Chain A
Amino acid sequence: MMQLKALMVKEFKEAFRDRRALMVAMSMALLMPVMIMVMLKVAIKEAVDNPAVYVKYTGEQHAPKLIKALKDENILSFADVPEDEERNWNERNIELTIPESFAIDMADGKPIELTLRADFNEKSLSSPIRRIKEVVRDHSLLIGYKRLLVRGIDTKLLQPIKLLEQDTSLPSSNAVMISLILGVYLMMAAFMSGLPVAIDSSAGERERNVLEMLLCQPVSTLKIVLAKLSCASAISIISIILMLFLTSVAMNFVDLTKIGATFSIDANTFVILLLLLVPICFLAASLQLLFAFQAKSFKEAQSTVTMLIMAPSFIPFALMLMDDKPAWVEWVPISGQSLLMEDVFKGLPIDWSALLFTSVATIALTVGLVLILAKRLTSEKVVMSLS
């Protein structure tokens, strides 16, 4: 025990010695809430607000009512574009051409052809184009309905079948994307903040020849590994706590209700998220140590370990694409947590048995990794990176 304690003191001292390096490790926790806040604000703005769209009309004088209907949806004439946005909208170049015969064809009941010309592949235009199409379609439908009505036809005839939809999801669970982003971002934090410490205390120590010295001491390699693991995971846990706290503050500045989502980190959610993430921190640290020791140099360790970060970001997306999820994804490390976190953000009740299972599985995997690592450190090949 004494030995382990001494080893841990050594690891923590080393990790905390370089304050600046530590600050960089923690910076993720500080910056991410700000980033997520900005991201959400932008996403919400895109999703709900109806930002002004400027269209280059030709022949707008022929269809004043249509132009007014467009204006009601904040689709305006390019002639009115404010100066600072003029260049943008000139480039986007949405053109709507209204034929001169609009009024006459309307009165004659002949089909009227408008032309909407734009780059339909341009991402920033997809929402404006959709909005313009909707307004024109609705306006056209309304005229059609009225035409039939004044000819003495029941307009309900146009809707022979009406599909009533009943959505069984909870009212607040509409914002899939948001919960996915939040989940990925917490998982990333668990993986990333301990990373510099893990690399430094393994590959770094080897390059500084500290590792050799350490292994020469009469302590078991298991203790050495445990000390390093505790240190790296402690730092990620600290940064997770810091981040959860800052995120709960940052969330107050985002009006999620606009997109039909509710999310606040209260004490309860805080504890559940922490319960989910702590095992991940251990797993991440052990994986990182394993890979770092595996590498031949500090540089190589940096690149391989960084690739590990792919896991937490890739797995949730893969899960989202899976329509029929096999049962095992619910307790496999990372995917299990990711699914549970999604529930938390949707405000669904927590499946405690799943939480227990996935936590146990994660910790078991961590223990396995630690044992492998301890075993490997007894080999000279690994220590001297000979292989």
Chain B
Amino acid sequence: MNLKNVLSTSLLIAVIGLSPNSFAEDISEQKLTLASCHVKGIRQQVQCGTLAVPENYTKPDGVKIDINIVVLPAIDSSKENLPFMFLAGGPGQAATELAGQIYRGFNEIRKTRDLILIDQRGTGKSHPLQCEDSLELDPYTSIPENISVSDVEQCLSLFTSDLSQYNSENSIRDFDAVRAALGHKQVHIYGGSYGTRAGLVYMRMFPESLKSVVLDSVGPIEVPIGLFGQSADQSFTKLLENCQNEQSCSTQYPDLTKEFATIKQRLSKAPVTVEIDHPRLGTHTSFTISTIKFLSTIQMQLYSMETRTLVPLLIHQAYLGNYKPLAGLIAQGEGGMGIYVGLLYNIVCNEDYPKISTEMKAQDADNNFAKGMSLDMIGLVCSTWPKYQPSADFYQTVKADIPTLIMSGELDPVTPASNGDKSHAHLPNSHHIISKNNAHIVASTPCGINIVNEFLEKQTPKELDESCLAEIPDESFMVGLNGGAATLDTANTMPTEAKE
């Protein structure tokens, strides 16, 4: 697990900053020409371009940075409908690197609307802030507990730009400048995860640029990013409950809660080291499992319904001493999750972490899943990260009167439905949809996409057809190393490789 992964696993949600619309106007008339291009994951041609914006908006003649833009053109070329701008999560995900997924996922919407993807400053090809491979650690032998301040400092030494300008508010100024340069008076925006924070900042700074807003899995300004203790615990507890409610899972894993507690206790004494075949190379390697490695890997699986299916098996096998499923999952995450860690911490350490009081910390850590794991990791990095002061307006509650659709998944480990409620309470023209059998990002299901599509057409957040959400089945789980509904006799003969 390299530093990139370790750092982003502990976090992975989004935040953003905001501030008033005083600047940005002078560049808004700039015209932007797009050229045909290909991006990874899409066979068809799309449109690419860059827009030069000032690094510091108070010094419009100072240093410029190029903002990278990809437009996925609508199938219907009539340009009748306003475009749809996608705000990526993280913070630190590059929207254009998600182009392939968005192209397919938002296919229904792309039929009649252009999709605008912009790499937020500090990500992708917009002056990226990334901790380079020099920090790559072996994800099997090293453990996250050993990451130290000096690793962070080494990463920081790579950055030469004025980090204080890589904040949420400036990102929104960039986005709105792109909107204007593309010649659109208004756009619809979709924010997922941290993208919702960005979206909220956009709503406060440039309300007149937005026709409507979709906030999917909300990280409101009132809830600092990093307070994942309670929500992850809640998401994990529901997973255990759902396993007990499903016949094959409860038969196979009757004591999951106890087993989980046992492993945690075992690992808390000392990390466990086992010998395995390297998941990718096939060579012999030792594999060290620590508390954070174990818990953060599980926490990562809680984000999506697909990976959640593996969690009971993972716990049960680890209890039996077989850590191969864990190694397989870590291999899955190798190569990074496309998070630009530099930007992630630049935003979280300045816009969110300072807002977390000791009291909030204690309350968040009061849980049975990972205690204060996420926050401890953030705290370590933030202790040495350069500081800047977000504008006073940044923490203002957003009350824009724009049609807004808010969506939350009940099983979400990082942006619980209670977050969505907070935003819903302040936004006069909003509606909050909570999907029962959904984790992070409701628009990852065809049903969620259809609701978003209907909202874009009708613009009435309160009168949408949500019936398809009820048809999403309860979660089910992988109950044996070979999958499928294992019968009882075969289950008990499962090979175990306890090697402690």
Stretch at the interface among B156-164, B337-345, B383-391, B476-484: B476-484
Q: Do A257 and B481 touch (CB < 8 A)? A: no
B interface vs A, CB < 8 Å? 38, 40-41, 43-46, 73-78, 111-112, 276-277, 279-280, 310, 313-314, 317, 323-329, 331-332, 334, 473, 476, 478, 480-487, 490-491
Is A167 positioned at the interface, with any CB of B under 8 Å from its CB? yes
Query: Which of A106-114, A226-234, A323-331 has 4 or more CB atoms under 8 Å from chain B?
Result: A106-114
Instruction: Please tell me if the beta carbons of B45 and A157 are within 8 angstroms of each other in the complex.
Output: no
Across the interface, B328 reaches (CB within 8 A) one of A64, A152, A258, namely A152
A109 CA / B483 CA spacing, docked (Å): 9
* Whole-angstrom CA separation of A167 from B38 in the bound complex: 8
Q: Are B280 and A157 in contact (CB under 8 A)?
A: yes
Tally chain A residues at the interface, Cβ within 8 Å.
41
For window 137-189 of A, CB contacts with B under 8 Å fall at 143, 146-157, 164-172
Residue contact A154 to B45, C-beta cutoff 8 Å: no
Task: Take A151-B481, A257-B111 as given contacts and tell me if A172 and B77 are in contact as well, using a CB distance cutoff of 8 Å.
Answer: yes
In the bound assembly, the distance between CA atoms of A164 and B78 in angstroms comes to 29
Contacts A103-B487, A167-B43 hold; do A172 and B75 have CB atoms under 8 A apart?
yes
Main secondary structure of the interface of B (DSSP, over half): loop
C-alpha spacing A155/B307, complex, angstroms: 14
Asked if B485 contacts A64 (CB within 8 A), the reply is: yes
CB within 8 Å for A152 and B482 given contacts A165-B43, A167-B44: no
Asked if B328 and A107 sit within 8 Å, CB to CB, the answer is no
CB distance B45 to A170 under 8 Å?
Answer: yes
Contact across chains for A155 and B482 when beta carbons are under 8 A apart: no
Q: Does A51 contact B (CB under 8 A)?
A: no
**Chain A residues in 8 Å Cβ range of B77:** 172, 262, 347
State in angstroms the CA–CA spacing of A90 and B111 once bound together. 36
Given A146-B310, A171-B44, verify A152-B487 contact (CB < 8 Å).
Answer: no
A200 to chain B minimum Cβ distance, whole angstroms, is 43
Asked if A155 meets B328 with Cβ closer than 8 Å, knowing A107-B480, A164-B40, the reply is yes
Contact indicator A151/B324 (Cβ below 8 Å): yes
- Shortest distance in angstroms between A178's beta carbon and chain B's nearest beta carbon? 13
B327 nearest CB across to chain A (Å): 4
25 contacts between A and B (CB under 8 A): A64-B485, A106-B485, A107-B482, A107-B484, A108-B482, A108-B490, A143-B483, A150-B313, A152-B276, A152-B277, A152-B326, A153-B328, A154-B279, A154-B280, A156-B331, A166-B43, A166-B45, A167-B43, A169-B45, A170-B45, A171-B46, A257-B74, A262-B75, A262-B76, A264-B78
Taking CB atoms, residues of chain A closer than 8 Å to B484 are 63, 65, 102-103, 106-107, 143
Q: Is the CB of A103 within 8 A of B485?
A: yes
> Are B325 and A153 neighbours in the complex by a CB distance under 8 Å?
no
A168 to B44, CA, bound (A): 7
